[in-house]
């Protein structure tokens, strides 16, 4: 082989390596657009507002053809998680929606991605924890400072009624997962209600996820479902403040430009200020004073006698105040009417 021929071959390889990235960009910039929406950190009102805005933008923007939610969250507030579930459900009805689980999609974060057409996980991902926890209300006694107009206005009801509210939220969450996963779910309702956490591989086996793969696999699947041969990827990241993490694993895995690691007391509180309803993975609730939260397995109590002066009822994802969880886009939940006196805790659809 002549020296000139060798030089020509080497130059051809080098030039090909330099040109290829530009050729790839040009090829992928013409077909369509897949939007990536990060779901990161503790789910609270601030983060839910940001993610909701990005999902609304993705489904309403005609230049976006499919959406991928990338989850790196262990959950958070119950009402905020319900709002994200409803937003994801609306998005899935409008365009192909695929989820990619980075480090975690547990509790409220899994609630959010349940409507996805497909869920991709890594082997080391943490998935599941389908359940609700709450700090228990403190007993209050009538006093000379606060007046009341009804027997339950001061307390909101007795402990049995509070636990019914907690159980109604739980049933709505479980019902939503069953409805969205359908025949793909290999767990019975009783098994799902155990609120276990699974590795990515286990999640695929039990039907909480569909396949092993990272965000690139999820993006390709979203593009396939949108019938895109070529596409560009657009990351929609809300600019609405610091992303708060109660998990160091999620914090380390995050690419959020402004993030902070906080104690779980940010979500659970310090035992004062009334009950807090959370869809939060249990491993993130450990760094708080034991007196602040009491873990308790609950079941819906029997209906108490009527006539206690209160007519409110609990609902997850339903603004009408009934406990069926039905409606056009509310989380489905097979639940008998709430007992008189059970107070509503979530506004659901907005």
Query: Which residue has better confidence, 132 or 135?
Result: 132
Residue 218: other Cβ atoms inside 10 A: 26
Look at residue 90 in the predicted model and tell me its pLDDT.
98
- CA distance linking residue 2 with residue 76, whole number of Å: 68
The residue whose two tokens read 């020296």 is 3
Local structure of residue 194 (DSSP, 8 states): T
Q: Which stretch of DSSP H or E encloses residue 76?
A: strand 75-77
Q: Summarize pLDDT for 288-321 with one digit per residue, the tens.
A: 443 334 444 454 444 444 333 333 333 333 333 3
Higher pLDDT, 183 or 28: 183
Residue 121, beta-bridge partner list: 101, 212
Residue 335, pLDDT above cutoff 80: no
Whether 177 has a pLDDT exceeding 90, the answer reads: yes
5: Cβ contacts below 8 Å, ≥ 6 apart: none
Give the residue with greater pLDDT, 170 vs 12: 170
Query: What pLDDT, on a 0 to 100 scale, did the predictor assign at position 160?
Result: 78
| Residue 278, both tokens | 């959370």
DSSP state of 135: P
Within 174-272, strands assigned E span 197-199, 211-212, 231-235, 243-245, 259-261
pLDDT of residue 277: 86
In a 13 Å sphere around the CA of 74, the CA atoms on its Cβ side amount to 20
Lowest mean pLDDT among 71-85, 169-183, 320-334: 320-334
The answer, yes or no, to whether residue 56 has pLDDT greater than 50, is yes
The reported pLDDT for the residue numbered 153 is 67
Residue 87 has pLDDT above 60, yes or no: yes
Helix (H) or strand (E) holding 33: strand 32-40
Beta-strand pair 277-280/75-77: antiparallel
For the segment 258-271, the average pLDDT, to the nearest whole number, is 79
- Phi first, then psi: what are they for 30, rounded to 5°? -115, -25
pLDDT at residue 75 greater than cutoff 90: yes
Alpha-carbon span 347 to 150, nearest angstrom: 23
Q: CB neighbours (10 Å) of residue 290?
A: 9
Mean predicted confidence (pLDDT) in 77-106: 97
**What is the mean pLDDT of the segment spanning 114-134?**
95
CA–CA distances in Å: residue 268 to residues 217, 260, 263: 35, 17, 9
Strands 197-199 vs 126-128: parallel, antiparallel or unpaired = antiparallel
Q: How confident is the model at residue 342 (pLDDT cuts 50, 70, 90)?
A: very low
- pLDDT value at 82 more than 90: yes
Across 229-247, average pLDDT: 87
- Could you tell me which residue, 250 or 216, shows the higher pLDDT? 216
What would the pLDDT profile of 221-230 be if each residue is shown by its tens digit?
999 999 999 9
Average pLDDT score over residue span 94-123: 97
Residue bearing the bigger pLDDT, 20 or 121: 121
Q: What is the pLDDT of residue 302?
A: 47
Asked if the model's pLDDT at residue 145 lies above 80, the reply is: no
Read off the DSSP letter of residue 25: H
Residue 8 pLDDT > 60: no
Summary mean pLDDT of the chain: 75
Lowest mean pLDDT among 94-98, 130-134, 257-261: 257-261
**pLDDT tens by residue, 28-39:** 444 899 999 999
Q: How many C-beta neighbours within 10 Å does residue 54 have?
A: 24
Q: Could you identify the residue written with the tokens 């290999």?
A: 186
According to the model, what pLDDT value does residue 44 have? 92
Sheet holding 133-134, edge to edge: 75-77, 277-280, 133-134
The pair of three-digit structure tokens given for residue 216, joined into one six-digit string: 């690139």
- Alpha carbons 110 and 94: distance in angstroms, whole number: 20
| Residue 131: per-residue pLDDT | 92
């Amino acid at each position: 082989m002549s020296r000139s021929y060798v030089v020509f071959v080497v130059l051809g390889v080098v030039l090909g390596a330099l040109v290829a990235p530009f050729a790839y960009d040009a090829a992928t910039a013409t077909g369509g657009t897949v939007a990536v929406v990060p779901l990161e950190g503790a789910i609270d009102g601030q983060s839910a507002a940001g993610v909701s805005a990005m999902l609304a933008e993705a489904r309403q923007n005609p230049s976006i053809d499919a959406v991928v939610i990338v989850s790196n969250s262990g959950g958070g507030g119950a009402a905020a998680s319900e709002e994200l579930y409803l937003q994801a459900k609306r998005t899935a009805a409008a365009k192909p929606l695929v989820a990619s689980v980075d480090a975690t999609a547990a509790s409220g974060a899994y609630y959010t991605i349940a409507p996805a057409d497909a869920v991709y996980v890594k082997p080391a991902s943490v998935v599941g924890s389908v359940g609700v926890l709450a700090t228990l209300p403190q007993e209050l006694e009538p006093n000379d400072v606060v007046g009341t107009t009804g027997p339950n206005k001061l307390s909101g009801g007795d402990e049995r009624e509070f636990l019914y509210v907690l159980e109604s939220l739980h049933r709505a969450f479980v019902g939503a997962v069953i409805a969205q996963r359908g025949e793909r779910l290999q767990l019975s309702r009783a098994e799902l209600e155990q609120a276990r956490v699974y590795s990515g591989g286990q999640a695929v086996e039990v039907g909480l996820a569909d396949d092993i793969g990272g965000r690139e696999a999820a993006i390709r699947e979203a593009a396939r479902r949108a019938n895109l041969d070529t596409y560009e990827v657009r990351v929609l990241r809300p600019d609405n403040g610091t992303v708060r993490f109660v998990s160091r694993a999620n914090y380390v895995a995050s690419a959020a430009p402004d993030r902070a690691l906080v104690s779980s007391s940010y979500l659970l509180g310090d035992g004062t200020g009334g009950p807090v309803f959370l869809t939060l993975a249990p491993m993130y609730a450990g760094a708080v004073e034991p007196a602040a939260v009491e873990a308790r397995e609950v079941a819906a109590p029997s209906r108490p006698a009527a006539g206690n002066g209160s007519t409110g009822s609990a609902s997850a994802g339903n603004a009408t105040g009934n406990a069926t969880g039905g409606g056009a886009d509310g989380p489905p939940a097979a639940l008998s009417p709430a007992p008189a006196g059970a107070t509503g805790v979530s506004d659901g659809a907005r």
